[in-house]
Amino acid sequence: MMATVDEAIDVLSQLEFPRQQRNERSALALLALLDLTPDRAWSEAEDPLRGITQLMSFMAEHYGKRYAPNTRETVRRQTVHLNWAFETDSGPARDRSVYASAIHLA
């Protein structure tokens, strides 16, 4: 089954993300964080390191959703901010503080 924006919104709901983060922008960020293009299935998810600008580029390139460069802070603060720290099978998530100067999220 190919990953879709609607499915990503459902995943965010199942993970009990706040209602304000259960939207298209957050779903696209989740797909970007998992490196899921429209032609890839959920089972093909990966763990690339991407910063906010790279997330926005991924959204535009693979889903046709372009955000103006001046929305970068909005994406960081309202979409990715603190709620995206996941544990990995190999231990705690890598240091991905949204305030780190060289941050890459995943």
pTM of the model: 0.77
CA distances from 38 to 10, 24, 81, 96 (A): 16, 14, 25, 26
Neighbouring C-beta atoms of residue 13, cutoff 10 Å? 12
Supply the pLDDT for residue 25. 94
Cβ pair 75, 29 in contact under 8 A: yes
Q: What is the pLDDT of residues 64-101, one digit of tens each?
A: 999 998 999 888 888 887 455 444 444 445 554 544 44
